[in-house]
């Protein structure tokens, strides 16, 4: 998630934030990520983004459905701006897109979207999945509605959420991005803007599978690195051609240098647990508690038992570990227990017959 100069820019009902002076940070040398903490203490925090998500060390969950409002509505006006660190898309619309549900508490309103990419097609995304970097990543930024705007939301631990989508290279151009890519050629220099003739809806720009995603608590990925973001990383990638991704690398930064890469290195996961939302039925058994009857219409005989590499909890979260006494008893031991009881009964009968 990116930022630029110290001001709040209004575009219709949407806003995006620039935090600090444009010269304050960059992606190389003295202004690179390893130096951000010298000016911004939050950049050395314990819950920073991006991270590497190990798919074998996530906790599988069934979260409530995400609710998307206004994603299929084409805005009245959409602007594309090179802010010297990335390309930012803001919009003015009759219906401001919102997202709620899933891991979120409350309704979050659209602020802006932007991109992160690398020098070539082998890397560029900020978050990684199983140590794999994608060539590019989309961040759609929302602020919690009750905080009124994105700037105020930075003061609250649940202030922002970012919907993140990865890109993969496809042999053909993605027609949904045709005008987008054409406009990039008109905003090569920093602080140049262009307006879409046919504004796309958010639905036009994102993947179709919005059910399978990873989510964790993290931070902005640029200074001031505020730890106020609920990250939602969707599993299904968006497809672009090599030429389409290459168009982003032609943009220039504040100093007129090619903006060939603008991603932060991954940060330590620390004590955080990454959740993976799935449509598989997750059943957690606690033998100490009574459990409701199975819902009607569910054939429990067809529910697959998770394999050893499924529904794995982080070993760093003691509350998620199974208690040893919750282990199922051995079938062999159960049979011996029944046999012993029968023998005791026979012995009692014979003893009584001798005395009576």
Predicted confidence pLDDT, tens digits, the chain (356 residues): 654 333 333 333 333 454 444 458 999 999 999 999 999 999 999 999 999 999 999 999 999 999 999 999 999 999 999 999 999 999 999 999 999 999 999 999 999 999 999 999 999 999 999 999 999 999 999 999 999 999 999 999 999 999 999 999 999 999 999 999 999 999 999 999 999 999 999 999 999 999 999 999 999 999 999 999 999 999 999 999 999 999 999 999 988 999 999 999 999 999 999 999 999 887 654 445 554 554 444 433 333 334 444 443 333 443 333 333 233 334 444 444 445 555 656 555 555 555 54
Q: Is 85 a catalytic residue?
A: yes
Cα(113)–Cα(88) distance, integer angstroms: 6
Q: Are 174 and 240 in contact (CB under 8 A)?
A: yes
Tell me, what's the pLDDT at 344? 57
Give the model's pLDDT for residue 24. 81
Count Cα atoms within 13 angstroms, Cβ side, for 135.
21
pLDDT of residue 11: 36
Is the separation of the CB atoms in 191 and 261 below 8 Å? no
18, 21, 47, 85: which one is catalytic? 85
pTM beyond 0.85: the answer is: no
Pairing of strands 213-218, 229-234: antiparallel
Domains along the sequence of the chain with CATH? 29-277 (3.10.200.10)
| Predicted pLDDT of residue 311 | 41
The rounded distance, in Å, linking the Cα atoms of 157 and 58 is: 22
- pLDDT, position 140: 98
pLDDT the model gives residue 179 = 96
């Amino acid at each position: 998630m990116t930022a630029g100069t110290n001001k709040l820019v209004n575009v219709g009902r949407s806003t995006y934030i620039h935090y600090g002076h444009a010269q304050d940070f960059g992606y190389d040398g003295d202004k690179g990520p390893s130096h951000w903490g010298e000016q911004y203490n939050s950049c050395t925090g314990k819950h920073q983004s991006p991270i590497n998500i190990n798919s074998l060390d996530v906790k599988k969950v069934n979260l409530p459905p995400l609710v998307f409002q206004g994603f299929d509505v084409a805005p009245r006006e959409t602007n594309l701006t090179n802010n010297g660190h990335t390309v930012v898309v803001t919009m003015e619309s009759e219906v401001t897109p919102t997202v709620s549900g899933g891991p979120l508490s409350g309704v979050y309103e659209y602020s802006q979207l932007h991109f992160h990419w690398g020098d070539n097609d082998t890397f560029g995304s900020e978050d990684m999945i199983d140590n794999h970097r994608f060539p590019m990543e989309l961040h759609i930024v929302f602020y919690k509605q009750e905080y009124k705007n994105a700037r105020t939301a930075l003061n609250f631990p649940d202030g922002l959420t970012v919907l993140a989508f990865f890109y993969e290279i496809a042999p053909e151009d993605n027609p949904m991005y045709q005008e987008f890519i054409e406009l990039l050629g008109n905003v090569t220099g920093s602080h140049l803007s262009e307006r879409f003739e046919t504004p796309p809806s958010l639905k036009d720009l994102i993947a179709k599978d919005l059910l399978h995603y990873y989510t964790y608590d993290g931070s902005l990925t640029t200074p001031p690195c505020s730890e106020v973001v609920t990250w939602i990383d969707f599993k299904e990638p968006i497809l672009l051609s090599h030429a389409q991704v290459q168009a982003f690398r032609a943009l220039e930064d504040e100093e007129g240098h090619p903006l060939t890469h603008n991603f932060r290195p991954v940060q330590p996961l620390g004590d955080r647990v990454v959740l993976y939302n799935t449509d598989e039925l997750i059943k957690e058994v606690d033998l100490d508690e009574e459990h409701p009857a199975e819902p009607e219409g569910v054939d429990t005989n067809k529910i697959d038992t998770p394999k050893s590499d499924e529904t794995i909890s982080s070993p760093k979260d003691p509350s998620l570990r199974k208690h040893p006494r919750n282990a199922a008893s051995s079938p062999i031991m159960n049979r011996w227990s029944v046999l012993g009881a029968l023998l005791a009964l026979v012995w009692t009968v014979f003893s009584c017959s001798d005395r009576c």
